[in-house]
Structures are given as structure tokens and as C-alpha cells.
Amino acid sequence: MIYTFEILPMNLEQAGYISSFIKKLLVDNKISKMVIRRVSIATYEAEINVVIHSYGGKCVVDYNEKQLKIVFSDTGPGIKNIESAMTEGFSTASTYARENGFGAGMGLPNIRNSCDEFDIQSSDKGTIVTIIFNL
Ligand SMILES: Nc1ncnc2c1ncn2[C@@H]1O[C@H](COP(=O)(O)OP(=O)(O)O)[C@@H](O)[C@H]1O
Ligand SMILES: [Mg+2]
């Protein structure tokens, strides 16, 4: 099954919608709590990143009984230095995002640690984060 979601920039009210949807999908399919916990952490952080750091984008969820693949893509401005962005504590989050509790700089490192396969590509045209979980 494939599910596609649009992600609007700076829409903090919508943030968390996709991770909740995926969690419900996994609960309904009786996936183990430990896997659900890892998926929830990674998808929430990836979703928030598109909301607070990008011009907006989309998320494509590809689920089958063996594997869950989730691709977050946006339309820019991209990440200048991926290595810095992957460092724990590194954040360029806006004052607005910080005032709303985001911007600890732990999102990307936690995403990478939570999933089985991780890929990030970025240019000024946008960022693509791919995360895969073996089920
Ligand atoms: N989709 C994105 N578009 C542009 N920049 C991003 C995106 N995702 C992450 N970043 C950059 O990587 C940094 C680190 O991300 P992250 O570890 O999630 O920390 P935080 O979101 O708390 O700042 C962000 O501060 C931002 O500079
Ligand atoms: Mg983040």
C-alpha cells in the first residue's frame, strides 16, 4: 500500500499527523511495540523537519508486510552541509520554532539511529530523506 501526504511549511498544527497515521497503520497490523516506537520517533522528527525547515513538501509511505519505506521530500532551501546537520545538537531552527519547543538539533541523528536504512540527499532544490524499517 502506498499513502501520500502533503506537508505545509510552518504548519505546526498539522505536525505529527503523518507519524500518527503511520503508528495507527502499524498498530492495526500488529507490528511489535519496539518497532512502532522506533518508527514513531523517526517519522515525527522527519515530518517536523519539513514543517519547520523547508518550503513544504510531501511524504510517501510504502508499506508491505516485510518493509516500511518512508520518503520525505521538499522543495528547498536544502541543507548546506549535511555532515553538520547530522551532528547532535546542530540546529538552525528559527526563534518561532524554538519558542514552540523544536530545534534541539537531535532530529536527524535520532532518525538515523532509529531506522534500519537511512539516506539523505540535499541541494538548493530540496531535501530527500529516505527511511526504511524491516518489519
Ligand atoms: N528538510 C530540511 N530542509 C532544510 N534544512 C533541514 C531540513 N531538515 C533538517 N535541516 C537542517 O538540519 C538541521 C538539523 O536538523 P535536526 O537534527 O532535525 O535538528 P532541529 O530540527 O532540531 O534543528 C536543522 O536545524 C536544519 O538546519
Ligand atoms: Mg529536527
Q: Which ligand is nearest to the CA of 108?
A: 1
Please state the atom number of ligand 1 nearest to the C-alpha of residue 74: 1
Residue 3's nearest CA partner among 17, 13, 11 is: 17
Q: How confident is the model at residue 93 (pLDDT cuts 50, 70, 90)?
A: very high
Ligand 1 site, residue 61, Cβ cutoff 6 A: no
Please state the atom number of ligand 1 nearest to the C-alpha of residue 77: 4
Per-residue pLDDT tens digits for 102-114: 999 999 999 999 9
Q: In the chain, what is the greatest distance between 2 CA atoms, to the nearest angstrom?
A: 41
Parent domain of 95: 2-134
Domain count, the chain: 1
Burial, 2: exposed, middle or buried (Cβ in 10 Å; 0-12, 13-18, 19+)?
A: exposed
Give the pLDDT score at 73. 98
Residue 128's nearest CA partner among 82, 68, 92, 95 is: 82
Give the pLDDT score at 87. 98
Instruction: Give the pTM.
Output: 0.97
CATH number at residue 8: 3.30.565.10
Give the pLDDT score at 1. 97
